[in-house]
């Protein structure tokens, strides 16, 4: 069975790897990007790919994208909130943290998925798979926090985890499953060249998780890309 999949932040890194993978499986992918196509330029002519420019930090942009997408498809089976930024200077401690960058990080990483869901949730509700994946991070775990800086990024992923938990409570009776997935430390612009895994490996894990049948009543929704449960 093929699915209609929406992926945000699809122009590079994990988002692009997910886009390529779902297309290779025969799915129809709606790929959104903030500024330009970047890697998507290579596959822009794929008939199963629908491209649209959308900035998750801008509500009008998200609303416009929703109006466009709903004119093209009747539903979305899998929605992947992947768009995110890492704007931290790891040398900066609490005394000299950049508040403006912190606000920007929270706006994109936490409120961004909330904006997307505000508009696109109704299309997921009409879908067959009824799955929402929020790309989280181990950085969002409070119980396993080991950092002594990187405030904004960690805060943004913790907030995304709370969004995921609340949304699962709301969505349960609608038959919609929500997952918050840590994709691993990837060799991307964000993760750097020394990271553990490639974005393709992370994408494969997330794809496999997306194909499983999930119990909407199970509150264990925070996990890594291999399906190993993580603590909030």
- Number of Cβ atoms within 10 Å of the Cβ of 190: 18
In angstroms, rounded to a whole number, what is the distance separating the alpha carbons of residues 162 and 186?
A: 23
pLDDT of residue 107: 98
Using the structure block, give the residue that is written with the tokens 């060249």. 193
Q: Which CATH class is domain 4-224?
A: alpha beta
129 is catalytic: no
136 is catalytic: yes
User: pLDDT tens string for the chain (232 positions)?
Assistant: 999 999 999 999 999 999 999 999 999 999 999 999 999 999 999 999 999 999 999 999 999 999 999 999 999 999 999 999 999 999 999 999 999 999 999 999 999 999 999 999 999 999 999 999 999 999 999 999 999 999 999 999 999 999 999 999 999 999 999 999 999 999 988 888 888 999 999 999 999 999 999 999 999 999 999 999 999 9
pLDDT of residue 17: 98
- The active-site residue out of 157, 164, 171, 177 is 157
pLDDT of residue 132: 99
pLDDT of residue 194: 86
- The active-site residue out of 16, 22, 153, 225 is 153
pTM of whole model > 0.95? yes
- Residue ranges per structural domain of the chain: 4-224
pLDDT of residue 192: 86
pLDDT of residue 190: 84
Using the structure block, give the residue that is written with the tokens 């200077």. 89
157 is catalytic: yes
- The active-site residue out of 136, 156, 164, 171 is 136
Judge contact between 223 and 179, C-beta under 8 A.
Answer: yes
Judge contact between 185 and 102, C-beta under 8 A.
Answer: no
In angstroms, rounded to a whole number, what is the distance separating the alpha carbons of residues 181 and 209?
A: 9
pLDDT of residue 142: 98
Contacting residues for 133 by C-beta, under 8 A, at least 6 apart: 78, 79, 80, 81, 178, 179, 181, 206, 209, 210
């Amino acid at each position: 069975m093929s699915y209609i999949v929406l992926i945000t932040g699809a122009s590079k890194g994990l988002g692009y790897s997910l886009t390529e993978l779902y297309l290779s499986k025969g799915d129809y992918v709606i790929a959104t990007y903030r500024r330009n196509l970047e890697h998507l330029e290579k596959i822009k002519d794929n008939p199963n790919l629908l491209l649209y420019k959308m900035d998750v930090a801008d509500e009008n942009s998200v609303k416009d994208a929703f109006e466009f997408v709903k004119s093209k498809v009747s539903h979305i089976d899998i929605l992947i909130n992947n768009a995110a930024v890492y704007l931290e200077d790891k040398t900066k401690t609490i005394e000299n943290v950049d508040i403006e960058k912190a606000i920007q990080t929270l706006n994109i990483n936490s409120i961004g998925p909330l904006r997307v869901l505000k508009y696109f949730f109704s299309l997921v509700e009409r879908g067959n798979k009824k799955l929402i994946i929020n790309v989280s991070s181990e950085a969002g775990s409070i119980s396993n926090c080991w950092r002594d800086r990187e405030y904004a990024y960690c805060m943004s992923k913790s907030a995304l985890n709370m969004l995921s938990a609340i949304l699962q409570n709301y969505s349960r009776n609608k038959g919609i499953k929500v997952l918050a997935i840590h994709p691993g430390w990837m060799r991307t612009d964000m993760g750097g060249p020394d990271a553990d895994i490639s974005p393709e490996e992370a994408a494969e894990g997330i794809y496999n998780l997306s194909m499983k049948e999930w119990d909407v009543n199970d509150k264990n929704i925070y996990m890594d890309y291999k399906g190993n449960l993580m603590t909030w």
